[in-house]
Amino acid sequence: MSRFYDLFQRKPVLGMLHLSGKHPVIQALDDLRIYEEGEVDGVIVENYHGTEEDVRHTLEAISRRTTPLKVGVNVLGSLELLLNSQRDLKLILSKSILSNLLA
């Protein structure tokens, strides 16, 4: 629990990036920009309306840009697709703030 409070220093406001629609990655990045402009402390990427592959592509897209927000991941169902290539995932995480959460 202290690791959580170390990340935020207070009760955070978290936004959800639900991956849905025809272009879930584009929608997630649009939503991320809205959250960055607001008073949100972090976001959680979730595949509730999408696939594990949508999560992977979204994390790749987020890792190519900078964001002041903390980014978490919630994958419903099998984690195997997301973690299939550990080498690739480490590359993605090393470029983003996610590496801080999973270190």
- Token pair for 72: 């978490």
- Decide if pLDDT at 77 tops 70: no
- Count other Cβ atoms within 10 Å, centred on residue 57: 16
Please give the model's pTM, rounded to 2 decimal places: 0.72
Band of pLDDT at residue 1, cut at 50, 70 and 90 = low
Q: Give the closest residue to 54 by CA, choosing from 37, 29, 36.
A: 29
pLDDT of residue 32: 96
Q: Strand pairing partners for 14? A: 42
Sign of CA dihedral 93, 82, 49, 19: positive
Band of pLDDT at residue 81, cut at 50, 70 and 90 = low
Give the CA count within 13 Å in the CB-facing half-sphere of 49: 12
pLDDT of residue 83: 58
Q: pLDDT tens-digit profile of 10-66? A: 888 999 999 988 999 999 999 999 999 998 999 988 888 888 788 889 988 998 888
